[in-house]
């Protein structure tokens, strides 16, 4: 589904990503964990076309995306749920969701958009209840659900999520991760960037640990949960049972 090979990227003279290589296979949940400033958001930006790579390859569904515009990568089936939600505050919940279906409308028409809208309301029942409410008046958890639903409206092949649990109450985090796990059951592929390493690894198939722009550890999620260095740095000192 996604292959990143020897990727270097950054901002101006600042080199953030240093020779990054990773892959995400169809139907997987793969998580990327690391401290603030490790380069996780830059990596997602480079994949989606918002951050220009200096060298390396980004291959999505056998297409080289390294020089493609973000809108073309989205049209190919890769979407990003950004950190901080970034909903359109002065638009209603339903307007935000329908806007996310513009790619689907171009390919399959308005009826497909409204069918997908019903699916998002089924995934996130609170959004149906708030459908006429302005997005900017929602709680943080509701805005996160809206950001996820808006991205999913295009029926993407790959969903990338940047810190979906940030600032949310534990019960809301549980609901968010339950939906992410369900996406895999429905056949979606997820690349999850998350500081809540324990929750992310609990639902992931595999994981990568990013530190100062380099991947330092990778492997099956259960191996990372059992790794003492990962436990110490990201999971706390207690052993994971």
pLDDT in tens, 42-68: 999 999 999 989 999 999 999 999 889
In angstroms, rounded to a whole number, what is the distance separating the alpha carbons of residues 65 and 67? Answer: 6
Mean pLDDT, residues 208-233: 92
Among the listed residues 159, 203, 154, the one whose alpha carbon sits nearest the alpha carbon of residue 177: 203
DSSP state of 240: P
- Could you count the other beta carbons within 10 Å of the beta carbon of residue 53? 22
DSSP state of 234: I
From start to end of the chain, where are the E strands? 2-11, 14-24, 29-33, 53-60, 63-64, 78-81, 158-162, 189-193, 206-211, 214-220
What pLDDT score was predicted for residue 235?
78
Mean pLDDT, residues 122-127: 95
DSSP reduced 3-state for 196: coil
pLDDT above 80: residue 236: no
Give the architecture (CATH level 2) of 1-77+189-241. Answer: 3-Layer(aba) Sandwich (3.40)
pLDDT above 90: residue 233: no
What pLDDT score was predicted for residue 224?
94
For CA atoms 160, 165, 167, 168, give the dihedral sign. positive
Q: Which residue has the tokens 């950054």?
A: 10
pLDDT above 60: residue 31: yes
Lowest mean pLDDT among 120-124, 145-149, 167-171: 167-171
What pLDDT score was predicted for residue 239?
39
Q: What is the mean pLDDT of the chain?
A: 92
What pLDDT score was predicted for residue 56?
95
Which residues, in sequence order, are CB contacts of 33 under 8 Å at separation 6+? 40, 193, 194, 195, 197, 200, 201, 207, 208, 209, 210, 224, 230, 234
What pLDDT score was predicted for residue 67?
85
85 Rama class: left (phi>0) / alpha (psi -120 to 50) / beta: left
Q: What burial letters (b/e) apply to 137-163, b meaning 16+ CB within 10 Å? A: ebeebbbbbbbbbbbbbbbbbbbbbbb
Among the listed residues 187, 200, 163, the one whose alpha carbon sits nearest the alpha carbon of residue 36: 163
What pLDDT score was predicted for residue 35?
87
pLDDT above 70: residue 238: no
pLDDT above 50: residue 241: no
What pLDDT score was predicted for residue 85?
86
Mean pLDDT, residues 17-23: 95
pLDDT above 60: residue 195: yes
Mean pLDDT, residues 113-117: 95
Domain borders along the chain are 1-77+189-241
């Amino acid at each position: 589904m996604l292959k990143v090979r020897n990727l270097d990227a950054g901002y101006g003279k600042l080199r953030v990503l240093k020779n990054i290589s990773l892959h995400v296979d169809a139907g997987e949940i793969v998580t990327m964990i690391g401290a603030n400033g490790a380069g996780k958001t830059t990596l997602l930006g480079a994949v989606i076309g918002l951050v220009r790579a200096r060298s390396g390859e980004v291959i999505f569904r056998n297409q080289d995306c390294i020089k493609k515009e973000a809108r073309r990568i989205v049209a190919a089936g890769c979407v990003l749920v950004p950190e901080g939600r970034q909903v359109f505050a002065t638009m209603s919940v339903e307007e935000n969701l329908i806007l996310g279906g513009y790619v689907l409308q171009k390919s399959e028409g308005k009826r497909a958009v409204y069918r997908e809208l019903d699916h998002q309301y089924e995934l996130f029942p609170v959004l149906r209840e708030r459908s006429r409410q302005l997005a900017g008046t929602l709680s943080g958890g509701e805005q996160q659900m809206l950001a996820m639903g808006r991205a999913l409206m295009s029926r993407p092949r790959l969903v990338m999520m940047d810190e979906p649990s940030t600032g949310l109450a534990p019960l809301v985090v549980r609901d968010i991760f339950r939906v992410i796990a369900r996406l895999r059951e429905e056949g979606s592929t997820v690349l999850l960037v998350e500081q809540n390493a324990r929750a992310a690894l609990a639902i992931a198939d595999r994981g990568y640990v990013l530190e100062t722009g380099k991947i330092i550890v990778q492997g099956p999620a259960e191996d990372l949960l059992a790794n003492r260095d990962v436990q110490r740095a990201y999971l706390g000192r207690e052993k994971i049972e």
